[in-house]
Amino acid sequence: MPCPSCSGDVRQRRHYERFERLLEESQLPKGWRDWTFETFPQDADKREAVSDAASFARGQYRPHFVNCLISGPFGTGKTGLAVCILRAFLAKLRPALLWTAPDLLTRIKATYREDGEGEEALLRRLVEVDLLVLDDLGAERASDWQREKLYQVLNGRMASERETVFTSNGDADALRSVLGERILERIEFRCMPIDLTGRNLRRPLAMGQGGQR
C-alpha cells in the first residue's frame, strides 16, 4: 500500500502541474496571473460586485445564471474581476480561456490564411471550454461577418449551458446597437449583471493596491 503522506504529496504536485498547464493554455497575460478575489481592491463601492462575482465563480447561482455581464465605466476593474473568476475556475482544474473580443475575431479571420488550427477547430474549442471570458465586448461596431462568428460561439455555448463572462463599457442598449439583437439575446441568456463602479483603478494610487483594471 502506498504511504498516505506520499500519496498526498503526489496528488498535490499533480494538481499544481495540471493547474500550471491550464493557466498557460488560458492565454492569461503573465502580469495578470496573480489576480485573485483576495488581491482585488476591496473598496466599499466595489464590495457587492466582488461578492457577486465570487459567488458566480463558485457556481452558487447555477442553474439560474450561466452568463455574467460585468459593465461599468473605464478603469473600474471589469477585466480584473473577470480574471478573478477565470482564476477561480482554473483553481478547480476547469479549463478557461480569456480573449478580448476584437482580438478573437482577428484570430478567427487569421485561420483562413495560416497553417495550423483551422476555423472549425478554433470555434469548437471556444464553444466547448468550461469558461470563456470575452473582454471589451462592443468596443466597436461589428461587421456582418463578425456578428455571425460571435453568434456561432455564443449560440453553441448557450445550447450547452457553459459559463461565459463578458466585460463591456456599455449597457445592453449599447451592445444591441453594435452587435445586434440575436447576439444580445445570447448574452442575456440566464445572465447575472454586475455593475462595477467606483474609482479608476488605473490611476497611480490604485496601482499599489493591485492595479487591476
Query: Over the stretch 31-72, which tens digit does the pLDDT of each residue have?
Result: 999 999 999 998 999 999 999 999 999 999 888 999 999 999
Least confident of 9-13, 94-98, 150-154: 9-13
pLDDT at residue 203, rounded to an integer? 75
pLDDT score at 208: 39
Q: How far is CA 181 from the centre of its chain?
A: 22
Query: Confidence class of residue 73 from pLDDT cuts 50, 70 and 90?
Result: very high
Query: CA-CA distances (angstroms) from residue 126 to 15, 50, 99, 120?
Result: 24, 26, 10, 10
For 96, the 3-state DSSP assignment is strand
Tell me the average pLDDT across 148-172: 95
pLDDT at 74 over 70: yes
Q: What are phi and psi of 13, to 5 degrees?
A: -65, -40
Q: Reply yes or no on domain 4-207 having CATH 3.40.50.300.
A: yes
